[in-house]
């Protein structure tokens, strides 16, 4: 009988790899700037460092083989990987890592009006860095409309800060 071992590893989404490389994390950009993908250990570090340099929010979720459940230890390991990559590149420790709510709506799924966005649960009112505008400042991820932005912390984040950072 032939060996019929099935490889349950999820491959890295980088098509430039010569060999099939197992992914260690799923990467997504909550602002919808890029399509979600999977990354091997090397690509994770490179993508993370690019996100820091460009001041982009990057959500990193650990990958477990099929059939295994993710637990809090898995997220702890992903956070340690991020800390290690940051420390190796910048020679200083990470001061904070903001984990967004898993049910955070994407850019296209936000309500149409500013009033409706302001009524979203406090856990969605997280900071986004605006490095393009003058002056550079932190903006609320959901309190914005065409031509209008709200500096973070917005009203919801100020009133319900515990919900913003404790999920």
pLDDT digits (tens), the chain, 167 positions:
444 444 457 888 888 888 888 888 888 876 667 788 888 888 888 888 888 777 777 878 777 655 555 555 555 666 677 777 767 776 766 666 666 777 888 878 889 888 999 999 888 888 888 777 677 788 888 988 887 888 888 888 888 876 676 54
Cα 16 to Cα 114: distance, rounded to the nearest angstrom: 42
> Which residue, 32, 27, 26, is CA-closest to 106?
32
pLDDT for the residue 105: 83
Contacts by residues 71-76 (CB-CB < 8 Å, ≥ 24 positions apart)? 75/99
Cα 70 to Cα 3: distance, rounded to the nearest angstrom: 29
Q: Which helix (H) or strand (E) holds 59?
A: strand 59-62
Q: What is the DSSP string of 91-139?
A: SS-----PPPPTTPPPGGGS-SSHHHHHTS-GGG--EEEE-SSSS-EEE
């Amino acid at each position: 009988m032939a060996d019929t071992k099935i490889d349950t590893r999820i491959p890295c989404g980088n098509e430039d790899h010569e060999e099939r490389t197992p992914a260690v994390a799923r990467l997504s950009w909550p602002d919808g700037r890029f399509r979600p993908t999977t990354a091997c250990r090397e690509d994770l570090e490179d993508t993370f460092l690019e996100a820091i340099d460009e001041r982009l929010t990057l959500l990193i979720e650990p990958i477990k083989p099929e059939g295994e459940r993710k637990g809090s230890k898995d997220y702890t390991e992903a956070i340690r990987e991020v800390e290690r990559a940051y420390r190796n590149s910048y020679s200083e420790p990470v001061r904070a890592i903001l984990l967004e709510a898993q049910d955070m709506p994407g850019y296209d799924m936000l309500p149409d009006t500013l009033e409706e966005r302001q009524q979203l649960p406090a856990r969605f009112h997280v900071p986004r860095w605006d490095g393009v505008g003058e002056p550079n400042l932190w903006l609320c991820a959901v309190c914005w409309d065409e031509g209008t932005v709200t500096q973070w912390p917005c009203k919801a984040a100020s009133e319900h800060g515990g919900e913003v950072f404790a999920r």
